[in-house]
């Protein structure tokens, strides 16, 4: 399987570009979470609406759209179909429900798979994603403002 593995690695490397992973620390609740409703504030710049402490990680990832047209303005916001797949060579250590900020797109990770061949260590990681459904524009704005404040342009 070595040749196959090398081919995949090469392809991922070739098509990779930096995106931001928005990774929740499920053990730490954000202070914005309402005690009675358990809802986080969508505009919160600590948890970005997740209700948990969040780590932002810039990682190289390759993206494959299942249907590129679905990512445009005609997107049905009520649907949560899997419309994208991301690949990384490094283990980003995400969990389902974490998000990926990719330019103007914000996706939520639906499934996450370490991809192995034979009995070796994972050779790459695959993430099925769908657009964030609620408060997407607000969350993107908060993320971008936070990143800008930290000196990043994306």
Catalogue the long-range contacts made by 9-13 (C-beta closer than 8 Å, 24 or more residues apart).
9/89, 9/123, 9/124, 11/62, 12/62, 12/87, 12/88, 12/89, 12/124, 13/60, 13/89
Contacts with Zn ion by CB under 5 A lie at 30, 32, 40, 44, 46-47
Least distance in Å: CB of 37 to Zn ion? 13
Closer CB to Zn ion, residue 12 or residue 54? Answer: 54
Least distance in Å: CB of 50 to Zn ion? 7
Closer CB to Zn ion, residue 32 or residue 89? Answer: 32
Closer CB to Zn ion, residue 31 or residue 91? Answer: 31
Least distance in Å: CB of 138 to Zn ion? 12
Least distance in Å: CB of 102 to Zn ion? 22
Closer CB to Zn ion, residue 41 or residue 63? Answer: 41
Q: Do the Cβ atoms of 118 and 99 come closer than 8 Å?
A: no
Tokens found for residue 33: 């979470």
Given phi > 0 = left and psi -120 to 50 = alpha, else beta, which region is 39?
beta
């Amino acid at each position: 399987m070595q040749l196959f593995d090398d081919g995949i690695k090469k392809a991922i490397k070739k098509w990779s570009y930096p995106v931001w992973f928005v990774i929740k620390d499920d053990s730490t609740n954000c202070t914005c979470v309402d005690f009675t409703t358990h809802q986080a504030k969508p505009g919160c710049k600590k948890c970005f609406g997740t209700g948990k402490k969040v780590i932002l990680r810039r990682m190289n990832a390759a993206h494959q759209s299942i249907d590129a047209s679905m990512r445009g303005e005609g997107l049905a916001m009520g649907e949560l179909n899997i419309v994208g797949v991301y690949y990384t060579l490094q283990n980003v250590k995400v969990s389902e429900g974490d998000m990926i900020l990719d330019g103007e797109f914000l996706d939520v990770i639906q499934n996450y798979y370490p991809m192995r061949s034979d009995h070796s260590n994972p050779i790459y990681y695959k993430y099925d994603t769908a657009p964030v459904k609620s408060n997407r524009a607000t969350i993107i704005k908060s993320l971008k403002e936070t990143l800008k404040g930290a000196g990043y342009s994306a």
